[in-house]
């Protein structure tokens, strides 16, 4: 506020704005809710996280010179102290966000400290996965009881840890293991995320949640979907289309692109997936390995994702003109026949995928030109160029032909950007 006041004085003095306008601006800022606790909140959260992690590390030392009963007593100290802190917060400071977030984080790590130390004392079996699962299940109520967005964020980060501890990588098993525990905890944590999306859409906590939740969604589902033989790529496309649909929904409509991770991940992910399927090798591989005998649970997940993507597509049909509808929103529907026919004819599927991706690239070039947005135009150019280059490398051509291809693409990029910049200058 102080800097705005100084700027206003300077602007009035220089005659850029008059006194009346200056007063209006000053009154506007004075009426805005002040948030003096923001720095305290940030440092409080940082301190609580550091203290929590510090306690976990101190426990990790394993104090074997204490007796089992002393160690057991110590194990409960951080938990009981944090419970008292949270109890006090509910009783006296339930309106203070600083108290709620700090208390919540302390209890989050207090729970971890207790079960880690008991696990250590009694050599409790089970790898990191079972430990993190128990921890998150016990900690999730904190998010709702206080409520605490920091604990919600830590829970989603914990879900990322849970995924990593299960080795959720790119594996080749025909029947994927569905991460029930991850899905269950994700669903338990989701209501708070939806609540802050509605009640505080512009707050930093909500914006950071968008990225973390999108990331957890992808990391939780995509490796598992991919693992299911050939059908994987279709499932991934459906999952990414759902993300894209969420990104184009009413809620994210006016959001800045960097705070719209569903749209970013959905669109870039879809393009990359289609690019992967534009190679003939993929279809030859899929042809021999496709298995439709996937598990019932996977079926349900796939149907749920499909219905979600379809819902957002129908919504955008109602609001947008068909001619302006981004092909990314319905490409999953077009890909289904391509995929099914690809089992019998890999060449057809490869050509069709190339045409589909080419169409998406063309859409972005036309749309970017129409709206005079360089980023969209270049995204389209990038898709088309990547397709051309990939095909040129796939087909055995001479160095001269490849060289000419590179030069032409370079000239295309330069020409299109030059044209659009000139056009926007003129308009």
Partner 1 sequence: MIKNKKLKWLLFTAMAVAQIAVPVWMILSKENVIREGKTYKFELQAIDPYDPFRGKYIILEPKENSFTIKTAEQPKQRHMYATFDEDSLGFALIKNLFAEEPDHNDYLKVEIRGMLQKGNTLPVDVIYPFDRYYMNEYRAKAAEDLSRSVARDSSRISYAEVSILKGSSTLRGVFVDGTPIEELISESVEK
Whether residue 84 contacts residue 129, with contact meaning beta carbons closer than 8 Å, is answered with no
* The one among 105, 106, 111, 246 contacting partner 1 by CB under 8 A: 111
Q: Which of 134/326 has CB closer to partner 1? A: 134
Q: Which of 40/121 has CB closer to partner 1? A: 121
Q: Is 123 in the site for partner 1 (CB under 8 A)?
A: yes
Cβ neighbours for 106, distance < 8 A, ≥ 6 positions apart: 48, 51, 52, 78, 81, 82, 85, 86
Q: Binders of partner 1 among 355-394, rule CB under 8 A?
A: none
Q: Is 238 in the site for partner 1 (CB under 8 A)?
A: no
Interhelix angle 399-426/374-394, rounded to 10 degrees, is 170
Distance, CA of 409 to CA of 380 (rounded, Å):
13
Q: Binders of partner 1 among 35-64, rule CB under 8 A?
A: 56, 59-64
Q: Which of 25, 20, 21, 18 is nearest to 1 (CA)?
A: 25
Q: Is 118 in the site for partner 1 (CB under 8 A)?
A: yes
Instruction: Please state the closest distance from residue 106 (CB atom) to partner 1, in A.
Output: 12
Q: Is 87 in the site for partner 1 (CB under 8 A)?
A: yes
Q: Which of 270, 285, 274 is nearest to 352 (CA)?
A: 274
Binding mask 194-233 for partner 1 (x = CB under 8 A): -x--------------------------------------
Instruction: Please state the closest distance from residue 125 (CB atom) to partner 1, in A.
Output: 4
Instruction: Please state the closest distance from residue 65 (CB atom) to partner 1, in A.
Output: 8
Q: Which of 53/341 has CB closer to partner 1? A: 53
Distance, CA of 221 to CA of 236 (rounded, Å):
8
Question: Which string of b and e fits 210-243 if b means at least 16 CB within 10 Å?
Answer: bbbbbbbbbbbbbbbbbbbbbbbbbbbbbbbbbb
Radius of gyration of the chain (CA): 27
Distance, CA of 110 to CA of 29 (rounded, Å):
41
Binding mask 139-178 for partner 1 (x = CB under 8 A): --xx-xx-x-------------------------------
Q: Is 130 in the site for partner 1 (CB under 8 A)?
A: no
Q: Is 249 in the site for partner 1 (CB under 8 A)?
A: no
- Containing 192, the helix (H) or strand (E) segment is helix 180-199
Q: Cis omega before residue 280 (within 30°)?
A: no
Whether residue 233 contacts residue 336, with contact meaning beta carbons closer than 8 Å, is answered with no
* The one among 128, 320, 324, 394 contacting partner 1 by CB under 8 A: 128
* The one among 98, 138, 208, 355 contacting partner 1 by CB under 8 A: 138
Q: Which of 64/396 has CB closer to partner 1? A: 64
**Collapsed DSSP state (helix, strand, coil) of residue 61:** coil
Instruction: Please state the closest distance from residue 109 (CB atom) to partner 1, in A.
Output: 11
Q: Is 21 in the site for partner 1 (CB under 8 A)?
A: no
DSSP state of 170: S
Catalog residues that contact partner 1 under the rule CB under 8 A.
56, 59-64, 72, 75-76, 79-80, 83, 86-87, 90, 94, 107, 110-112, 114-126, 128, 131, 134, 138, 141-142, 144-145, 147, 195
């Amino acid at each position: 506020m102080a800097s705005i006041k100084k700027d206003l004085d300077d602007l009035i003095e220089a005659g850029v704005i008059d006194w009346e306008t200056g007063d209006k601006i000053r009154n506007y800022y004075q009426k805005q809710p002040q948030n003096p606790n923001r720095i305290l909140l940030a440092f409080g959260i940082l301190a609580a996280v550091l203290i929590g992690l510090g306690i976990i590390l101190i426990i990790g030392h394993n104090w074997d010179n204490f007796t089992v009963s002393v160690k057991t007593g110590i194990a409960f100290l951080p938990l009981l102290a944090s419970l008292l802190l949270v109890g006090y917060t509910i009783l006296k400071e339930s309106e203070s966000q600083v108290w709620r977030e700090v208390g919540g984080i302390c209890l989050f790590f207090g729970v971890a400290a207790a079960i880690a130390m008991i696990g250590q004392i009694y050599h409790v079996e089970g790898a990191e996965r079972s430990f993190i699962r128990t921890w998150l299940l016990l900690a999730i109520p904190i998010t709702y009881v206080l409520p605490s967005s920091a604990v919600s964020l830590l829970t989603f980060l914990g879900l990322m840890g849970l995924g990593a501890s299960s080795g959720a990588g790119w594996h080749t098993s025909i029947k994927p293991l569905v991460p029930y525990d991850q899905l269950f905890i994700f669903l338990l944590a989701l209501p708070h995320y939806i609540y802050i999306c509605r009640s505080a859409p512009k707050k930093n906590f909500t914006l950071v949640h968008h990225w973390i939740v999108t990331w957890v969604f992808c990391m939780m589902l995509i490796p598992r979907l991919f693992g299911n033989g050939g059908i994987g790529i279709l499932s991934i496309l459906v999952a990414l289309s759902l993300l894209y649909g969420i990104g184009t929904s009413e809620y994210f409509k006016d959001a800045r692109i960097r705070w719209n991770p569903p749209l970013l991940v959905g669109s870039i992910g879809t393009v990359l997936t289609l690019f992967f399927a534009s190679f003939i090798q993929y279809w030859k591989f899929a042809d021999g390995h496709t298995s439709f005998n996937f598990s019932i649970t996977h079926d349900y997940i796939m149907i749920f994702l499909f219905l979600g993507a379809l819902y957002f597509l129908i919504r955008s049909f109602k609001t947008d003109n068909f001619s302006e509808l981004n092909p990314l929103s319905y490409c999953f529907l077009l890909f289904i026949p391509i995929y099914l026919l690809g089992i019998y004819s890999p060449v057809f599927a490869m050509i069709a995928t190339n045409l589909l991706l080419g169409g998406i690239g063309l859409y972005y070039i036309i749309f970017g030109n129409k709206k005079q947005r360089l980023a969209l135009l270049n995204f389209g150019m990038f898709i088309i160029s990547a397709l051309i280059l990939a095909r040129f490398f796939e087909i055995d051509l001479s160095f001269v032909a490849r060289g000419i291809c590179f030069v032409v693409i370079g000239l295309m990029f330069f020409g299109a950007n030059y044209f659009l910049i000139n056009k926007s200058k003129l308009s």
